[in-house]
Amino acid sequence: MQTLQAYIHDCLQPYNQATLHISDLSIQRGYGIFDFFKVQQGQPMFLDDYLKRFYESARQMELPVPLDTTELKEVIRQLIQANQLPLSGIKMILTGGYSESGYDIGKPNLIITEQPLTLPDQTIVTNGLKVITHSHVRELPEVKTINYTMGIRLLSNIKAAGAADMLYQQNGIVSEFPRCNFFIVTRDDVVVTPDKNVLSGITRKNVLQLARQKYKTEERAVTIADIAQAKEAFLTSTTKRILPIVQVDDLVIGNGKPGEITNELLADLIALEQTQL
Amino acid sequence: MQTLQAYIHDCLQPYNQATLHISDLSIQRGYGIFDFFKVQQGQPMFLDDYLKRFYESARQMELPVPLDTTELKEVIRQLIQANQLPLSGIKMILTGGYSESGYDIGKPNLIITEQPLTLPDQTIVTNGLKVITHSHVRELPEVKTINYTMGIRLLSNIKAAGAADMLYQQNGIVSEFPRCNFFIVTRDDVVVTPDKNVLSGITRKNVLQLARQKYKTEERAVTIADIAQAKEAFLTSTTKRILPIVQVDDLVIGNGKPGEITNELLADLIALEQTQL
């Protein structure tokens, strides 16, 4: 088996040996940010968008990034070159660094890993997903922090409900999944996605742009009542692209099958990805 | 300089060499719990209370603790024996463990460290603290997770305001500090502490017990208006014991000096600690 390389402590090293001292603020206080993008045939997809968000998350959390954009791109290039994976995801984590007090921010540790990526099974695209809702708003939804306390703690709830994921809502207004954005298509073919308390997903942005070429789009509050009236629903994420949602709690969406516009947007997204190669 | 020992990967090792692989869920997703207690003259203070809370936090986060109470106490004894510190704090961290998917909980990593402890400066006890408020409720206030995203991110705000700490409030109802509980003393000598959205501090519990012997105590909602009317205010924590608060935002508490009952409770708490030796 091939030994994957990772970038840590300012150089490439075998992933298996990549460690942080326990005084790192991610271990002590869950403090850090990250970002994640897809690499196809050696080409990072929509890299500039992901890097922009990464630097913005770092800024919001007062973490200086040790590399500038040019240096970071060069490291990413070297990592892709070293690992030679046909389809992969690259994750960049920036932690609070080694902290003597265990609370104050230190010199951030930058970790970049590359792992093989598996795209969602075609049966999910064909059948669609059931999701449940949970009353919660993330602490800093706009910032891609490493804090997934709620999402991971409730994995067993999702499983117990026979669901695929958990949609956050508060007072009937839905926002996002722990790792995906949410969309509905109304009965009059308007593509709608929540505007508040959501991470600015790069796939969300791409899908909005694609949808705008053919349909009316809206970024606005989406309620449970809107979902009950919707013709289609889907989620978006870097690894999952677009996945149809056919049920939210007890609400069956439309005719209970993946929608036409959902499938059309997925085809458009795959075509858009090709332009990055 | 003495090399401190830490417990990690099932044995005592030099603290300097204590590392986790980057696949640990604390680094990947900020997922873990911890607890922290004081050791004086080799004696852990109120250990059973801290261990009970540690196991309860672990249970709430679906993390099995690899050691039972008896085994954990034995490791703590060995660590204290190895390090021979006159006054220290012991921190137990239980992470989500090495996760292949980077999201699902693995076999938790248990880390136990002991560090020298410095008690608060006497001038703080004499002069009291200024604190600011911030609108926030922690995600899972009852669980001692490692998530301090908000507290650490706003350290610079606290500093800019010339304050010592930040009291969380929402809609005018205060709860707690990132790492301390909050108390007021009313004009008619009732010792009051918030009952909702707070961590069950062990020092909070001890102070309530001590206060109950001499005064009326209440656990209830505490509003900003209550603070404006209060005669005294203070915070409690394991490392800080009791520290008087003399200002909250622009509100000066009482006559702007540490209160009599605050000082009395601090003396009582120090006496109670002596019973643990």
Choose, out of B17, B19, B99, B158, the residue to mutate when testing the contact with A (most A CBs < 10 Å): B19
Query: Two tokens at B190?
Result: 């009732």
CB-CB contact of B51 with B44 (8 Å): no
CATH topology match: B5-116 vs B122-274: no
- pLDDT at residue number A169: 98
DSSP reduced 3-state for A157: helix
For domain A122-274, the CATH class is alpha beta
Task: Give the residue among B159, B153, B151, B158 at the shortest CA–CA distance from B175.
Answer: B151
Q: Which of B33, B42, B152 is nearest to A102 (CA)?
A: B152
**With contacts defined as CB-CB under 8 Å, which chain B residues touch A24?**
27
Q: Does B78 touch chain A (CB under 8 A)?
A: no
Spatial strand order in the sheet of A43-44: A11-14, A5-8, A110-116, A87-95, A32-40, A43-44
pLDDT for residue A1 is more than 80 = no
Query: Cα separation of A133 and A153, whole Å?
Result: 14
| Yes or no, beta carbons of B148 and A95 under 8 Å apart | no
Q: Is A145 on the interface with B (CB under 8 A)?
A: yes
- DSSP code, position B146: S
CB contact under 8 A, A26 and B25: no
CB atoms within 10 A of CB A80: 18
Query: What is the band of A185 on the pLDDT scale with cuts at 50, 70, 90?
Result: very high
Q: Domain spans of chain B?
A: 5-116, 122-274
B100–chain A Cβ distance below 8 A for any pair: no
User: Angle A202-212/A260-274 helices, nearest 10 degrees?
Assistant: 110
Integer Cα distance of B13 and B3 in angstroms: 10
- Report how far residue A21's alpha carbon sits from residue B93's, in angstroms, rounded to the nearest whole number: 13
**pLDDT score for B212:** 98
Establish if B14 touches chain A: CB-CB under 8 angstroms: no
Cα dihedral sign for A47, A167, A31, B34?
negative
Best mutation target, B1, B27, B109, to test chain A (most A CBs within 10 A) = B27
The length of chain B in residues reads 277
Three-state secondary-structure class, residue B263: helix
Chain segment A267-276, per-residue pLDDT in tens: 999 999 999 9
Tokens of B121: 């400066």
Total residue count of chain A as it appears in this document: 277
What pLDDT does residue B173 have? 98
Contact A30 B28 (CB under 8 A): no
Q: What is the pLDDT of residues B165-218, one digit of tens each?
A: 999 999 999 999 999 999 999 999 999 999 999 999 999 999 999 999 999 999
Query: Quick check: A155 and B104 CB within 8 A?
Result: yes
Judged by a CB distance cut-off of 8 A, whether residue B237 touches chain A is no
Closest residue to A148, CB basis, from B16, B30, B62: B30
d(CA A178, CA A163): 14
Residues ≥6 apart with Cβ < 8 Å to B166:
B131, B132, B133, B134, B151, B154, B157, B158, B177, B178
Mean pLDDT of all residues belonging to chain A: 97
> Mind telling me how many Å the CA of B175 is from chain A's nearest CA?
16
Cα B52 to Cα B68: distance, rounded to the nearest angstrom: 11
Average pLDDT over residues A123-136: 96
CB B181 within 8 A of CB B237: yes
Residue of A nearest to B21 (CA): A19
Report yes or no: A31 at the B interface, CB cutoff 8 Å. Answer: yes
Closest-CA residue of B relative to A146 is B29
A5-116: CATH number: 3.30.470.10
Six token digits for residue B74 = 């034995």
Taking alpha carbons only, the member of B234, B221, B231, B228 closest to residue B164 is B234
Q: Is A191 helix (H, G, I), strand (E, B) or coil?
A: strand
Q: Mean per-residue pLDDT for A236-257? A: 97
The Cα of B17 is separated from the nearest Cα of chain A by a number of Å equal to 7
| Distance to chain B for A78, nearest Cα, Å | 20
Please write the tens of the pLDDT for every residue from A165-176. Answer: 999 999 999 999
> Are A191 and A165 within 8 A, CB to CB?
no
Q: What b/e sequence results for B27-47 when a residue is b if at least 16 CB atoms lie within 10 Å of its CB, and e otherwise?
A: bbbbbbbbbbbbbbeeebbbb
Nearest partner of B60 among A156, A111, A25, A74, judged by Cα: A156
Q: Quote the minimal CA–CA distance from B192 to chain A in Å.
A: 28
Nearest chain A alpha carbon to B135: A139
Is the predicted pLDDT of residue A159 greater than 90, yes or no?
yes
What is the spatial distance between Cα A124 and Cα A258, in angstroms, rounded to a whole number? Answer: 10
For residue A24, give the nearest of B23, B93, B19 by alpha carbon: B19
Using a CB–CB cutoff of 8 Å, tell me whether A61 touches chain B.
yes
Give me the DSSP letters along B30-56.
--EEEEEEEEETTEETTHHHHHHHHHH
**Which pLDDT band holds residue A163 (cuts at 50, 70, 90)?**
very high
B139 at the A interface (CB within 8 A)? Answer: yes
Residue B1's pLDDT is: 53
Quick one: pLDDT at residue B143?
97
Contact between A163 and A132 under an 8 Å Cβ cutoff? The reply is yes
ipTM above 0.95, yes or no: yes
- Per-residue pLDDT of B81-137, as tens digits, reads 999 999 999 999 999 999 999 999 999 999 999 999 988 899 999 999 999 999 999
With a pLDDT cut of 70, the percent of chain A lying above it is: 99
Split at pLDDT 50, 70, 90, the class of B162 is very high
Whether chain A has a CB inside 8 Å of the CB on B69: the answer is no
CA distance A110 to chain B (A): 11
Give pLDDT tens digits for B4-58: 999 999 999 999 999 999 999 999 999 999 999 999 999 999 999 999 999 999 9
Query: In angstroms, what CA-CA distances link A217 with A77, A210, A220, A257?
Result: 36, 10, 10, 22
CB of B159 within 8 Å of a chain A CB? The answer is no
Residue B17, pLDDT score: 97
Closest-CA distance of chain A to residue B189, Å: 35
DSSP B167-216: EEEETTEE-B-SS-EEEEE-TT-EEEE--SS----HHHHHHHHHHHTTSE
How far apart CA B8 and CA B67 sit, in angstroms, is 12
Which positions in chain B touch A155 (Cβ < 8 Å)? 103-105
**pLDDT over threshold 60, residue A36:** yes
